[in-house]
Structure 1
Amino acid sequence: MKLIKVAGGELNQIPLDWDHNKQNILDSIEDAKKQQVSMLCLPELCITGYGCEDAFYSTGVHQMALEVLHELLPATKGIVVSVGLPLVYQNRVFNAAALLVDGEIAGFVAKRYLAGNGIHYEPRWFTPWTEGAVGEVSFEYYDLPEKFQKKVYPIGELFFEVDGVRIGFEICEDAWVANRPGRNLYAYGVDVILNPSASHFAFGKLEVRKRFVMEGSRAYGTVYVYANLLGNEAGRAIYDGGVVIASVGQLRAISERLTFHDYKVTSAVVDVDLGRLEKFQSSSFEHITKESGHHICIKDYKFPEAKLEAYERDEASWEFSETLQEEEFARAEVLGLFDYMRKSYSKGFVVSLSGGADSSAIVSLIWLMVQMGIKQLGMDGFKKKLFYFKEIQEASTEAEIVNALLTTAYQPTENSGDVTWNAAKSLAEAVNAKFYRLDVNNVFKEYIRIVEESIERPLTWEQDDLALQNIQARVRAPSVWMLANINGALLLSTSNRSEAAVGYATMDGDTSGGLSPIAGIDKAFLRQWLVWLEKEGVDRNLTIPALKFVNDQQPTAELRPQDSKQTDEGDLMPYDLLDEIEGAAIRDKKMPVECYSIMRYKFPQYSSEQLKGWITKFFRLWSRNQWKRERYAPSFHLDDKNLDPKTWCRFPILSGGFNRELRMLEELKD
């Protein structure tokens, strides 16, 4: 048996924070050595951070990445480690992984398939490596130590042989395509495939990753080590970590995802000979004989033999239990909020707490952030990550920490009611948030007076409905911005994705804020999630019973007089229908007539005229409100229905508004 201990490390990095990123890498290497790991795979672009955007063009960034790479070498004595960085070769920038062996650089493998869809924009910065190409790179033109400058290193479609073990790479997207590099690595007889990744969180994505790791290890007869970034790295994307290690189709280790740690190393003992046996027995194995230029052999390093008892331990205990979508949402959001707060050095959050579903969901998530963060890190560890926040250092309980970092305000006008007041007050008390009642009615009335005097006529609901609604939402923004400024805190926008789709939000009102944490999730799911958190909760014990006062309501903006009995669905359409239309029209790019056919099948309870009217309303509102979506504060990416125009869903601000397509819908005969 050829037993070695391999590991993947998940790292919570920050773009261009060289010292922070370097320390996480060093700490993970030290942890791996303590676990007696022989081979450690670290995430894609972990030296620079993945989300550097156009800074990847900077020669200064390339220089600094190489400096950090050089500084890491001493720590790799006695271990094999892969680290990711941008690398210049022939005046092009490549997304590369460096294999470091016993304190030396063995070579670089560059990514062949660049992620250029959805939130990823790699082809803007990087050049894809040509299949089969190899070359040499040197660093004499950088201001680096002389020894580092004078060496020439191999780069390209390489595999490495260390102590007789052949090691190859698939870098993130490489494994998600049909013609994945693993096919060539199989032909080279590779024993271990390392996959350094920066794969963002999305609902259900873990199952896809597990499939390509396990199937890759089975099909190619290898050990497969997948390592991913962790946390809210650059603002919008949340990385869920999740090391996966498989051997010849069998899962050997999988780590818990979405944790609050700076780094985490997950290891497994594997038998390299099992993969070789698969290759011996495979009649389809086609060996490539032209290995010159591809094969880097390192003869003067020996892997320590791993222990047999570690290899034979109970694999079932390694499996991290799957989570419901509701819990996935909670874990992703709380990690995103925590990292955004601490990496921006914000002293907590401010939320305009209306007593409705959206703001209540955000307040609940912040409470969960504290509970889950302290459970994972301990009180001291949680406070250490917020070292800059004096009030947190002085707190001694979870309730005191929530009170220190969460400020809420209920901001009524004459159109607000007791139901929302009681819901907001009850929730704030239940989570121990600071809670203020900031009555903005006088400000609302004063704006009306000023404008009425100027235009020389009274404003009425019959003639000025939209203006009167919007000014109420807007007068709430200055006071909560003021609280945020007083506290040095982050104001959170409370608008959701369903509202963003149809523009049912007030610019400079409920869209005000530096971060919009729920703009990537639809209203129907939020309402379902709040009921779940009230009654079931995370780990079956983190619940907020006070959410009953929120969940018993029909969502309403409370911007018209109370006798109008205003509701969101009355203004728009049923939320479940809205979300289905949005998915068909925006995600799936269906035209109005096609959407109608789908909705007739899914919602037979509504008449033909109702569905046509709602679909027409959706397309009209979608088209005229792109400018609002362009102005939303940064939001978290959670699934493939995101509407963020900066990262996922581009649409022209000015367009024909589907006029011809909607005429076709109107003229359609059932």
Structure 2
Amino acid sequence: MGRKVTLATCSLNQWALDFEGNLQRILESIRIAKEKGARYRLGPELEICGYGCSDHYFESDTILHSFQVLTKLLESPVTSDIICDVGMPVMHKNVRYNCRVIFLNKKILLIRPKMVMANAGNYRELRWFTPWNKSREIEEHFLPRTIQEITGQDTVPFGDAVLATKDTCLGSEICEELWAPNSPHIDMGLDGVEIFTNGSGSHHELRKAHLRVDLVRSTTTKNGGIYLLSNLRGCDSDRLYFDGCSMISINGDIVVQGSQFSLENVEVLTATLDLEDVRSYRAHTSSRCISASRVPPFHRVHVDFSLSSFDDVYTPTSEPIQWKYHTPAEEISLGPACWLWDYLRRSKQGGFLLPLSGGVDSSAVACIVYSMCRLVCQAVDAGNKEVLRDVRQLVGDDMYVPKMPQELCRRLLTTCYMATENSSKETRERAKTLSEQIGSYHMTPNIDTAVRAVIGIFTMVTGKVPQFRVHGGSGPENLALQNVQARIRMVIAYLFAQLSLWSRGLPGGLLVLGSANVDESLRGYLTKYDCSSADINPIGGISKTDLRGFIQYCIDNFQLTALASILSAPPTAELEPLTDGQVSQTDEDDMGMTYDELSVYGKLRKVVKTGPYSMFCKLLLMWKEISPRQVRKVNLYQIYVLQWTFVLVQSTFIPPTPIFPH
């Protein structure tokens, strides 16, 4: 009797509601899996319709089209003689579920609904789906007539069950269930399930890969078994980036690692593993055997199919590997770059426009676009025809082949330094030098005329002439004069984004890139409708500390020497008059705290979930070298955050200026 099984998992770049494209990518992954000898193929969560359908899940034709895709899959000869596990929404007894549909040779074996919903942070699954709350129970699901005609089945099992093939037993989890404290794999493993599968839609966050890998390894360290994780890739029409990282684990060891950041639309991983390794690993642990003898059984759907072959003694098995992690700086370089590429090619715009100030934040965004161009050139060099087709469509040239990232960057990125009388020569030169090194199309308009015109309207109506503080003006005057510059930059940025390609005789428009980091957003240190306003913001979830590490990474790896002076310069908005030609205003002085402190506050607030008092107590231990009175500035930070949150949620009153005091 056979004991070695070859299993396949995959990362797919699926698009919301792109049913035809999603179908082709699913078929391609199944074809590759079969070529590699796999007898079971796992796909990511909701791969048929795309995860990011949002309120389109409420529309009945989303489920109708999903079943139409399932019809094509069942009919295709590509899906013969391999168990296929696909994700799609299913309506059962007038309730919408997020499901796995598992089929073999034109027969649906099981529809397994998701039992634990992701409904925190970036996820709102309870808005669209209902969790299956009947543990270890199944019901009969009546299939649509189009499916009945193909499968010859009127009904199929629907619910919490496992598959029993001739040689092993498989059980499904769906994304969030792996992260839950009472994950289904615990009891499934005790009941003899040897292969666990998880079709996932897990988004990218800095350092999240460590947690994801630890979770997968831990599932099979205590309980033994084989675990397959399949994850989405790409932006899927939303602000999230799904970062792949599909993997296969056995008995606590990772044996196959998928790429975390890639422009490939289809990636298939396979591993050949010995079921006897699972059985001996489990039998060796007495406490597990005692627990297994007491666990209530799962309903088993019997499948007349084997994952192993009879004569596999000499078949080599996959060996454990050491997972290779990206550093946070590498993650910033690759993750947002892949997301920008997906966003750009799906929007079918002509590129990006970035207000480049010569500071760390906007320079980091410029470097991310440059990294995107590097990835595109590498993909084209490697023979990726889909990437080449998308590049040609974006630049409007059917013969274009990108060779150098600087050359591609000039076509896709327009940078704009919007100078005023308060801008220093140093920041202007830094922006210009960086644009030359990355290759962007750079402009340097002076916006003083527009600023004076807006202030002139106020003076004409009121008869008052506001002054900066250094010229004897009050706090409100000083703040208003700063904010009018910032907001005019936003207006001009959108004007140039819409018309700069037209002015150069090129088609299309540009997407405006924002450059507000997460620390400033949490603190409320920004002018609304300036850097906080853009089409997309690649660094909106990244702290200033991590961005500075990324800038150093770009200096070391991209040879962008212009970044050295940007990194060493004090952060400044340059909205107040210069003193002897030099910057007199700095961000940290305005905020009353450093960016390093802000990063610590942000982590304690958003990750550790502390309030003012708890944060104060933790900082007393972290910052033993300073006095408790100095640590008290944390209370000031929390007050600013609460005020800023209040401002953002009001529907009837939005103050015209930021609330940080000067």
TM-score with structure 2 setting the length: 0.89
The answer as to 2:435 corresponding to 1:422 is: no
For 1:618 and 1:267, locate their aligned partners in 2 and report how far apart those are by CA, in whole Å. 50
Partner in structure 2 of residue 435 of structure 1: 442
CA contact (8 A) 2:135 2:160 kept: yes
Q: Secondary structure at the match of 1:571?
A: helix
For 1:616 and 1:164, locate their aligned partners in 2 and report how far apart those are by CA, in whole Å. 62
Give 1:630 deviation, angstroms.
6.5
Q: Secondary structure at the match of 1:329?
A: helix
CA displacement, residues 460-507 of structure 1 (integer Å, 9 cap, x when unaligned):
112211110011111112222122213412111121112212222222
CA contact (8 A) 1:474 1:506 kept: yes
Q: 1:57 to 1:149 in 2, by over 3 A?
A: farther
Partner in structure 2 of residue 518 of structure 1: 539
CA contact (8 A) 1:3 1:306 kept: no
- Equivalent runs, 1:110-129 vs 2, <5 Å: 110-129=113-132
Partner in structure 2 of residue 135 of structure 1: 139
2:302 to 292, 297, 304: 297
Partner in structure 2 of residue 397 of structure 1: 403
CA displacement, residues 602-653 of structure 1 (integer Å, 9 cap, x when unaligned):
34555554443x334323322232377679xxxxxxxxxxxxxxxxxxx999
For 1:24 and 1:263, locate their aligned partners in 2 and report how far apart those are by CA, in whole Å. 6
Partner in structure 2 of residue 533 of structure 1: 554
CA contact (8 A) 2:328 2:546 kept: no
CA contact (8 A) 2:377 2:403 kept: no
The answer as to 2:516 corresponding to 1:495 is: yes
CA contact (8 A) 2:89 2:96 kept: yes
2:573 to 543, 548, 557: 557
Partner in structure 1 of residue 634 of structure 2: 615
CA contact (8 A) 1:255 1:320 kept: no
Give 1:81 deviation, angstroms.
1.5
Q: 1:618 to 1:282 in 2, by over 3 A?
A: closer
Partner in structure 1 of residue 454 of structure 2: 447
CA contact (8 A) 1:28 1:263 kept: yes
CA displacement, residues 437-481 of structure 1 (integer Å, 9 cap, x when unaligned):
111111112222221121102111122111100111111122221
For 2:285 and 2:163, locate their aligned partners in 1 and report how far apart those are by CA, in whole Å. 23
Q: Using the TM superposition, name which of 502-511 and 578-587 deviates more.
A: 578-587
Q: Using the TM superposition, name which of 371-380 and 16-25 deviates more.
A: 371-380
2:619 to 590, 599, 607: 599
Q: Which amino acid aligns with 1:119?
A: N
Q: Which amino acid aligns with 1:433?
A: S
Q: 1:483 to 1:144 in 2, by over 3 A?
A: farther
Q: Which amino acid aligns with 1:4?
A: V
CA displacement, residues 149-201 of structure 1 (integer Å, 9 cap, x when unaligned):
85211111111122322111121122222322123322332221111111112
For 2:605 and 2:283, locate their aligned partners in 1 and report how far apart those are by CA, in whole Å. 51
CA contact (8 A) 2:110 2:158 kept: yes
CA displacement, residues 551-585 of structure 1 (integer Å, 9 cap, x when unaligned):
12111000000127100001012111122223334
The two structures, once aligned, show a CA RMSD in angstroms of 2.6
For 1:577 and 1:100, locate their aligned partners in 2 and report how far apart those are by CA, in whole Å. 54
For 2:423 and 2:89, locate their aligned partners in 1 and report how far apart those are by CA, in whole Å. 54
Q: Using the TM superposition, name which of 488-497 and 307-316 deviates more.
A: 307-316
Q: Secondary structure at the match of 1:85?
A: strand
Partner in structure 1 of residue 587 of structure 2: 568
For 2:311 and 2:497, locate their aligned partners in 1 and report how far apart those are by CA, in whole Å. 54
CA contact (8 A) 1:28 1:264 kept: yes
For 1:547 and 1:97, locate their aligned partners in 2 and report how far apart those are by CA, in whole Å. 48
Partner in structure 2 of residue 465 of structure 1: 478
Q: Using the TM superposition, name which of 345-354 and 273-282 deviates more.
A: 273-282
For 2:86 and 2:552, locate their aligned partners in 1 and report how far apart those are by CA, in whole Å. 43
Give 1:392 deviation, angstroms.
6.2
Partner in structure 1 of residue 185 of structure 2: 182
Q: 1:228 to 1:309 in 2, by over 3 A?
A: farther
Q: Secondary structure at the match of 2:449?
A: helix
2:161 to 150, 158, 165: 158
For 2:323 and 2:223, locate their aligned partners in 1 and report how far apart those are by CA, in whole Å. 25
Give 1:396 deviation, angstroms.
3.5
CA contact (8 A) 1:261 1:377 kept: no
Give 1:305 deviation, angstroms.
6.0
Q: Which amino acid aligns with 1:98?
A: V
Q: 1:363 to 1:307 in 2, by over 3 A?
A: farther
Partner in structure 1 of residue 563 of structure 2: 547
- Equivalent runs, 1:239-254 vs 2, <5 Å: 239-254=242-257
Q: Secondary structure at the match of 2:10?
A: strand
Q: 1:354 to 1:468 in 2, by over 3 A?
A: same
> How high is the sequence identity, in percent, across the aligned residues?
26
For 1:551 and 1:517, locate their aligned partners in 2 and report how far apart those are by CA, in whole Å. 19
Q: 1:615 to 1:262 in 2, by over 3 A?
A: same
Give 1:310 deviation, angstroms.
5.8
Matched residue pairs, number?
A: 626
CA contact (8 A) 1:163 1:303 kept: no
Q: Secondary structure at the match of 1:625?
A: helix
CA displacement, residues 385-415 of structure 1 (integer Å, 9 cap, x when unaligned):
3352134653542222111100011110000
Partner in structure 2 of residue 408 of structure 1: 415
2:95 to 92, 96, 116: 92
For 2:58 and 2:512, locate their aligned partners in 1 and report how far apart those are by CA, in whole Å. 32
Partner in structure 2 of residue 662 of structure 1: none
Q: 1:379 to 1:254 in 2, by over 3 A?
A: closer
CA contact (8 A) 1:84 1:98 kept: yes
Q: 1:351 to 1:385 in 2, by over 3 A?
A: same
Q: 1:38 to 1:630 in 2, by over 3 A?
A: farther
Q: Which amino acid aligns with 1:549?
A: S
Q: Using the TM superposition, name which of 177-186 and 442-451 deviates more.
A: 177-186
For 2:370 and 2:49, locate their aligned partners in 1 and report how far apart those are by CA, in whole Å. 32
- Equivalent runs, 1:188-267 vs 2, <5 Å: 188-267=191-270
CA displacement, residues 486-532 of structure 1 (integer Å, 9 cap, x when unaligned):
34121111211122122222222222311111111122221232123
Q: 1:361 to 1:289 in 2, by over 3 A?
A: closer
For 1:308 and 1:350, locate their aligned partners in 2 and report how far apart those are by CA, in whole Å. 60
Q: Secondary structure at the match of 1:236?
A: coil
CA contact (8 A) 1:422 1:549 kept: no
Partner in structure 2 of residue 332 of structure 1: 335
CA contact (8 A) 1:353 1:424 kept: yes
Q: Give the unaligned 5+ runs of structure 1.
A: 632-650, 655-670
Q: Which amino acid aligns with 1:346?
A: Q
Q: Secondary structure at the match of 1:485?
A: helix
Q: Using the TM superposition, name which of 277-286 and 177-186 deviates more.
A: 277-286
CA contact (8 A) 1:626 1:652 kept: no
For 1:155 and 1:445, locate their aligned partners in 2 and report how far apart those are by CA, in whole Å. 68
For 2:382 and 2:496, locate their aligned partners in 1 and report how far apart those are by CA, in whole Å. 27
For 2:219 and 2:602, locate their aligned partners in 1 and report how far apart those are by CA, in whole Å. 36
Partner in structure 2 of residue 636 of structure 1: none
CA contact (8 A) 2:85 2:100 kept: yes
Q: Using the TM superposition, name which of 267-276 and 371-380 deviates more.
A: 371-380
Q: 1:274 to 1:584 in 2, by over 3 A?
A: closer
Partner in structure 1 of residue 504 of structure 2: none
For 1:5 and 1:236, locate their aligned partners in 2 and report how far apart those are by CA, in whole Å. 35
Q: 1:288 to 1:616 in 2, by over 3 A?
A: closer
1:474 to 458, 483, 487: 487
Q: 1:309 to 1:97 in 2, by over 3 A?
A: same
